[in-house]
Amino acid sequence: MDTMRERFTTVTTELLEQDPRTALVLADIGAAPFEEAARRHPDRVLNVGIREQLMIGVTGGLALAGMRPIAHTFASFLIERPFEQVKLDLGHQGVGAVLVSALGSYDWPTGGRTHMAPGDVALLDTLPDWTVHVPGHPDEAETLLRHAVADGDSLVYVRLSAHQNAEPQPVEPGRFLTLRQGGRGTVLAVGPMLDAVLAATEGLDLTVLYAASVRPFDGAALRAAGHADVVLVEPYLAGTSNNEAHQALADLPHRVLGLGVPRAEHRHYGTMEEHLRAYGLDAAGLRARITAFIPR
Amino acid sequence: MTTSYAQLPALISRMTGAEKHGPAALSTLDALWVLYDRVLTGTPEDPDRDRFLLSKGHGPMAYYAVLAAKGLLPVEWLDGFGDYDSPLGHHPDRLLIPAAEIGSGSLGHGLPLAVGTALGLRAQGRTAAVWTLIGDAEFDEGSNHEALAYAGALGLERLHAVVIDNSSATHGWAGGIAARFAAHNWSTATVDGHDHQALFEAYTARHPGRPHAVIARVEPKN
């Protein structure tokens, strides 16, 4: 099985071939797999060098000229470093783009804090009109990426990760899937958190929803699950979607527990598995916190 | 509708309320006038129009006056400058002004957007020129340096930058601003920013295979 990022390369290369409106903007990171595409489409595969402010500025300019740009680098350099460009060169200009990140929150622990961006989705939540996809499998990444590029001139963030589930789900943009139905509460697993959530809730009387798209947030699906107790399990900053869940259930008595990556810096290296365990996002850690919140 | 240069002060006074406003009082007025009067072609609806991206969004009165003089925004809009319902803010917003190619205000966004616009037009086989106007103090912003290095390396010929130099950068530009562009393979010209013929000649100078920067020097701000 390929990785989400490898699938991104395959699909984007194909889209560049098929649709003359598409353009890809890179800042050195991830450029090597696109060398052949760059030779075939030198005007539409643009590597600006290690210049992330320019990367987003160029993306905005391409959109102003009528193109459908895709920009790709690590989340920390795609959203955090050029955040004002994301705010002003895209949304404020009234143009769209597809931003595709890699590494996310904890994918490269030996790289440390500089290459971790657990706050990316929370940052985009401060801006209007962003669609956010968090696929949990390369097949889902392909579905969501194709949809994003074809989705008019909308603003779409696709958050790719090396952390993935064993099996793909039949995802639809903007919709949560119901994978299990139970009587005592709802657990929403986002993207790569699904396998750990399914293991953590095995044998518990809980509904399990799955989200590979979190903005817009499918509040109707959360309401339809019919439970007052809700646990959100997200592969980025803990609590990022709490407010969305509260809004969905605003007229009902309810409780929300937001699990995810802690805000505090975690000054350890090691492996992704070690980090997930340390954050309490492995199956055992999740089960302990879910059962403490929703007694069996 | 066209208006003459001599009528610009009257348009500006509709925004300021001041009785008299010499053109020289606005550092960008002459550079903008010559550009819109004699260089840029195409209407706002035309996909092959030349693009002008005002990066230096501060003090946009000269810009609004020139747009109004050229029939690109209604003259009546000038009266409400900065009012709650006015399309004309103290920084321009492209979603409120059809003739404005970008919204600006925060410094250092116009040149990178212009690079992307020039690349997008090139990818579609369009040959329209792309212009942006920045200030010498705005040039402090690092995003400009990312953009000028990349555009120079690409030899992005349809890209043009006008730098209004009123010596307002806090730490100055030792060796001059033009040298920064020239070092990155740009064609450059430095002219008196109030001399219309000199501006025109600098704007229309040939620069095959390279982007072009015109440094328009005006009286120091302080």
In chain A the domains, ranked by start, together with CATH numbers, are: 4-159 (3.40.50.970), 177-293 (3.40.50.920)
pLDDT > 60? residue A34: yes
Domain CATH code at residue B196: 3.40.50.970
> Does B106 map to a domain?
yes
Q: Identify the pLDDT of residue B18.
A: 63
Distance (Å, whole) CA B81 – CA B59? 11
**Total domains in the fold of chain B:** 1
If residue B16 lies in a helix (H) or strand (E), which one and from where to where? helix B8-16
Give the mean pLDDT of B187-191.
Answer: 98
What is the per-residue pLDDT across B130-183, written as a single tens digit (0 to 9) for each?
Answer: 999 999 999 999 999 999 999 999 999 999 999 999 999 999 999 999 999 999
pTM of the model: 0.97
ipTM, 2 dp: 0.97
Which three-class secondary structure state does DSSP give residue A30?
Answer: coil
Q: What is the mean pLDDT of residues A43-71?
A: 98
Mean pLDDT of A238-243: 98
Pairwise CA distance, residues B144 & A77, whole Å: 18
pLDDT, tens only, A71-113: 999 999 999 999 999 999 999 999 999 999 999 999 999 999 9
Whether B190 maps to a domain, the answer reads: yes
Interface test with A, best of B143, B144, B156 (most A CBs within 10 A): B143
Residues 6+ apart with CB under 8 A from B75: B11, B14, B68
- Beta carbons of A220 and A178 less than 8 angstroms apart: no
Residue B23 has pLDDT above 50, yes or no: no
Examine residue B83 and state whether it is found in any structural domain, yes or no: yes
Name which of B116, B123, B142 is nearest A44 (Cβ-Cβ). B123
The terminus-to-terminus CA distance of chain A in angstroms comes to 37
The residue range of the domain holding B127 is 5-217
Q: How many CB pairs under 8 A join A and B?
A: 104
CA distances from B162 to A183, B62, B85, B134, B200 (A): 67, 15, 31, 6, 12
- B192 in a domain, yes or no? yes
Q: How far apart are CA A120 and CA A125, in angstroms?
A: 9
Is A65 in Cβ contact with B117 (below 8 Å)?
A: yes
The answer to whether the Cβ–Cβ distance between A62 and B117 falls below 8 Å is yes
List the Cα angle B98/B100/B105 in 5-degree steps: 130
Nearest-5° Cα angle at A136, A133 to A139: 90
pLDDT at B208 exceeding the cut of 70:
yes
Position B59 pLDDT exceeds 90: no
- Average pLDDT over every residue of B200-219: 98
Q: Say whether pLDDT at B24 is over 50.
A: no
- The whole-angstrom separation of Cα A267 and Cα A286 is 22
Could you tell me which chain A residue has the CA closest to the CA of B122?
A43
What number of other Cβ atoms are within 10 A of residue B198's Cβ? 18
Compute the average pLDDT of residues A191-204.
Answer: 98
Q: What is the mean pLDDT of chain B?
A: 94
Residue B110 lies in a domain: yes
Q: How confident is the model at residue A45 (pLDDT cuts 50, 70, 90)?
A: very high
- A236, β-bridge pairs: none
Tokens read off for B152: 């120079």
Q: Which two tokens stand for residue A159?
A: 């958050």
The answer to whether A158 and A101 have CB atoms below 8 angstroms apart is yes
Provide the terminal-to-terminal Cα distance of chain B, rounded to the nearest Å.
37
What local confidence, expressed as pLDDT, does residue B205 receive? 98
In angstroms, the CA A223 to CA B206 distance is 65
> Could you tell me if residue B154 is inside a domain?
yes
In a domain, B222, yes or no: no
With respect to residue B209, please indicate whether it lies within any of the assigned structural domains.
yes
What is the percent of chain A with per-residue pLDDT over 90, rounded to a whole number?
Answer: 99
Residues of A with CB under 8 A from a CB of B: 20, 23, 43-44, 46, 48-49, 51, 53-54, 56-67, 69, 84-85, 88-89, 92-94
Which residues is A207 bridged to in the sheet? Answer: A186
Instruction: Single out the residue of B21, B10, B42 nearest to residue B128, CA to CA.
Output: B42
For chain B, list residues whose CB is within 8 angstroms of any CB belonging to chain A.
Answer: 47, 93-95, 101-103, 106, 108-109, 111-124, 126, 142-143, 146-147, 149-150
pLDDT in tens, B99-138: 999 999 999 999 999 999 999 999 999 999 999 999 999 9
